[in-house]
Amino acid sequence: MEFADVLTRRASVRNFTEEKVPVDKLREMVRMAGTAPCIGGRETWSFIAVTNKELMRKMAEAVKMKYDGIIPAGGDHVTDNVRNAVESFSTIFLNAPAVIAVLSEPYTAVIDKVLEQTSYSHDDINKLRNHPDIQTIGAAIENLLLAAVDMGYGACWQTGPMVAKEELSKLLGVKEPYSLFAFVAVGKPAHEIKPRVKKPVGEMFSVIE
Ligand SMILES: Cc1cc2nc3c(=O)[nH]c(=O)nc-3n(C[C@H](O)[C@H](O)[C@H](O)COP(=O)(O)O)c2cc1C
């Protein structure tokens, strides 16, 4: 597919057919994700693909329980609607034949070597630099989404489930120094993909000459 077509055809897919995604296809999507730029040349990412439906059900249940705790039942009609919408938005990976968990390990920056002589910590510098660790993972995830489109699949980036990070990490066997950053649900789209109309370039671009 032409690169521009891959970009313009991508949209978040939340309904999938039951067709399985072969492991070699998932591996190829992850290989493409790993071509992304990364902070200080540190490829901090790691990926776990889950195709086991029983495990996915447990993961969705953990997410739902977490939101039930955050927005308790017994509130008004609006609150109940919000909780249901958020839970549905956060568990759509259950509709997919595969979900890829995206993990990251901490990175060390050149500046870290001299931080002891300063009043700044690694976390302070990371924050001042606008979280290059998170930006690195974002670059990899976008590559993954585009690779999925190019290979005839649909995908949805998900951070909603991360409220249950601790429980999900246990279910997935995530070990230090890695931590869970996001999910990407992957599969064949159940319906024709209709990309959203995006902001016109004139509204988001300016030039200083
Ligand atoms: C960081 C991030 C987190 C997201 N988390 C979720 C999520 O938890 N559940 C979901 O259904 N969509 C999620 N999305 C998808 C967005 O809702 C979607 O990208 C946005 O509405 C624009 O639509 P499009 O992807 O079809 O262009 C997420 C997207 C991003 C970039």
Which pLDDT score, from 0 to 100, does residue 72 have?
A: 87
Q: Give the mean model confidence (pLDDT) for residues 59-73.
A: 95
The Cα 106–Cα 195 span in angstroms is 34
Range of the domain at 179: 3-190
Report if residue 197 sits inside a domain: no
The Cα 13–Cα 159 span in angstroms is 15
Closest ligand 1 atom number to CA of residue 161: 8
The Cα 169–Cα 65 span in angstroms is 15
Looking at the structure of the chain, the number of domains it has is 1
Q: Element (H or E) spanning 188, and its range?
A: none
Q: Does the beta carbon of 164 lie inside 6 Å of ligand 1?
A: no
Report if residue 116 sits inside a domain: yes
Report if residue 159 sits inside a domain: yes
Which pLDDT score, from 0 to 100, does residue 75 have?
A: 79
Least confident range from 9-18, 20-29, 69-78: namely: 69-78
Q: Does the beta carbon of 137 lie inside 6 Å of ligand 1?
A: no
Q: CA nearest 170: which of 94, 92, 66, 68?
A: 66
73 confidence band (pLDDT: 50, 70, 90): confident
Ligand 1 center–CA 13 separation, angstroms? 9
Q: Give the mean model confidence (pLDDT) for residues 12-19.
A: 98
Q: Work out the number of other CB atoms within 10 angstroms of the CB of residue 186.
A: 28
Residue 105 · residue 121 · CB < 8 Å? no
107-160 pLDDT, tens digit each: 999 999 999 999 999 999 999 999 999 999 999 999 999 999 999 999 999 999
CATH code of the domain containing 122: 3.40.109.10
Q: What is the largest CA-CA distance in the chain?
A: 58
